[in-house]
């Protein structure tokens, strides 16, 4: 990010969470957000679908895991506490200002999402020809 702001690089791909303040502060210019719709936090920035890239969807996501042997009641409580925390006005305002949406996936839905992400990014790596050294 610092090299982009300083003019040492011409462009970069970044999540809105870490670039939103720089966009709003005029230090960098957002050219596109990924996905099928514009970000409510940046309504003047076109989305990839509008620019002819309908399949280009990249998102930043966070997950919460626990050891496999964690009792179900403890897992449920962890999820409930996170849900409570993200429902506060302060948390909603922070996520919204950064152009983020909280998808609220748990259990089987989150598992399916992770599997989809692994398949998608495995295909990208294979298509790129990248190899481990």
pLDDT value, residue 62: 83
**CA dist list (Å): 38 to 42, 48, 52, 99:** 7, 9, 14, 9
User: Which has more confidence, 99 or 8?
Assistant: 8
- The pLDDT tens digits for 14-66 are 988 889 999 999 999 999 999 899 998 899 999 999 999 998 888 888 888 99
* Torsion sign (Cα): 86, 91, 94, 97: positive
**CA dist list (Å): 77 to 28, 66, 80, 107:** 41, 12, 5, 13
pLDDT value, residue 132: 87
Q: What is the pTM of this model?
A: 0.71
pLDDT at 129 over 80: yes
User: Which has more confidence, 98 or 121?
Assistant: 121
- The pLDDT tens digits for 65-120 are 999 999 999 999 998 998 898 888 998 888 888 877 777 788 889 899 999 999 99
pLDDT value, residue 18: 87
**CA dist list (Å): 15 to 9, 22, 39:** 17, 12, 12
């Amino acid at each position: 990010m610092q090299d982009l702001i300083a003019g040492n690089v011409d462009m970069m791909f970044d999540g809105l969470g870490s670039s939103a303040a720089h966009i709003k502060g005029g230090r960098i210019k957002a050219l596109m957000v990924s996905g099928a719709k514009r970000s409510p936090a940046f309504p003047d920035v076109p989305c990839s679908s509008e620019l002819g890239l309908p399949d280009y969807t990249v998102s930043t996501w966070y997950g919460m895991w626990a050891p496999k042997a964690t009792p179900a009641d403890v897992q449920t409580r962890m999820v409930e506490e996170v849900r409570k925390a993200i429902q506060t006005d302060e948390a909603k305002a922070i996520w919204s200002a950064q152009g983020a949406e909280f998808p609220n996936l748990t259990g089987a839905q989150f598992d399916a999402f992770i599997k989809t992400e692994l398949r998608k990014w495995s295909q990208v790596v294979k298509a790129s020809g990248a190899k481990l050294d």
